[in-house]
């Protein structure tokens, strides 16, 4: 869940001069792909009210853009979780920090997440939601890092499959920063960050 160059983190946490970001998915590609996902979701559930559940905070922009591209009846709600462990090591244990406002019983629910990494967060969420008896339960993830998966969880709707690199922007953060970037980019940390941040690409799914 973190940049790999852990040893080279600046000693002063306020010093971000050694962080470099290379654009991986430009805003136009995000927009186009989200339009496609919205179309696919509506096609799969024609005429049905859809209830989107966004996972705070990373999924806010994805949910906002996705919801506005889905025609017909759409409602949404938010949930927040945190995983135990520090910034560099996730223990895999997930804790609910904010529950939904309303019941999902009998609803067609699409869980909207920024990224599927190990899959622990989504596994936890799906187990909670399943118990609440939705009519349908699906997952939409903007990004998927399949190399990191330790669970059997898969998304029904995936925006982009990306290499095993730490990404920020369009809602995704590093220590709460960079969420406001319009593009998704690869973050590299360390003295030679700019040089190291070489090109690898994202695949449309
Ligand atoms: P998982 O439980 O390992 O699948 O992790 C999911 C959560 O970890 C995501 O919702 C993100 O908040 C965070 N995460 C995983 N990979 C990245 C990344 O590359 N950049 C930013 N956040 C990430
Ligand atoms: Mg998240």
117 catalytically annotated: yes
Burial (CB count within 10 angstroms: exposed 0-12, middle 13-18, buried 19+), residue 203: exposed
Rounded Cα gap, residues 162 and 39, in angstroms: 22
Tell how many helices (H) and how many strands (E) occur in the chain: 4, 10
Which pLDDT does position 161 carry in this prediction?
98
65 lines ligand 1 (CB under 6 A): no
19 lines ligand 1 (CB under 6 A): no
Please state the pTM of the whole predicted model: 0.88
Residue showing tokens 């005429």: 47
Q: Going by CA atoms, what residue is nearest to atom 19 of ligand 1?
A: 166
**Active-site residue, from 44, 99, 114, 117:** 117
- Strand segments, DSSP code E, in the chain are 19-25, 50-56, 74-83, 94-98, 108-116, 136-144, 157-161, 167-168, 184-189, 203-204
Element (H, E) at 202: none
108 lines ligand 1 (CB under 6 A): no
Which pLDDT does position 88 carry in this prediction?
47
Structural contact between residues 126 and 92, judged by C-beta atoms closer than 8 angstroms: no
Provide the 10 A C-beta neighbour count for residue 195. 10
The CA-CA-CA angle for residues 8, 150, 98, to 5°, reads 80
Q: Is 20 helix (H, G, I), strand (E, B) or coil?
A: strand
Which pLDDT does position 93 carry in this prediction?
84
The encoded tokens of residue 155 equal: 């998304």
* Mean per-residue pLDDT pooled into runs of 10, the chain (205 residues): 48 74 98 98 98 98 98 98 66 89 98 97 97 98 96 97 97 97 95 68 74
- Strand segments, DSSP code E, in 59-156 are 74-83, 94-98, 108-116, 136-144
Distance (angstroms) between ligand 1 centre and the Cα of 116 equals: 6
């Amino acid at each position: 869940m973190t940049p790999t160059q852990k040893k080279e983190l600046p000693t002063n946490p306020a010093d971000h001069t050694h962080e470099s970001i290379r654009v991986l998915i430009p805003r136009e590609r995000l927009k186009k792909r989200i339009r496609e996902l919205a179309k696919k979701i509506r096609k799969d559930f024609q005429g049905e009210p859809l209830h989107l559940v966004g996972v705070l905070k990373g999924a806010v922009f994805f949910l906002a853009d996705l919801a506005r591209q889905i025609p017909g009846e759409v409602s949404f709600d938010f949930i927040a979780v945190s995983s135990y462990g520090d910034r560099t090591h996730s223990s895999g244990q997930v804790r609910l920090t904010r529950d939904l406002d309303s019941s999902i019983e009998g609803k067609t629910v699409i869980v909207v997440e920024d990224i599927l990494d190990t899959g622990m967060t989504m596994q936890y969420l799906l187990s909670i939601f399943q118990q609440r008896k939705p009519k349908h339960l699906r997952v939409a993830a903007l990004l998927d890092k399949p190399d990191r998966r330790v669970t059997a969880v898969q998304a029904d709707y995936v925006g982009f499959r990306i290499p095993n690199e730490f990404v920020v922007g369009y809602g995704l953060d590093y220590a709460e920063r960079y969420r406001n970037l319009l593009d998704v980019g690869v973050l590299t940390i360390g003295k030679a960050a700019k040089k190291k941040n070489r090109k690898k690409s994202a695949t449309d799914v």
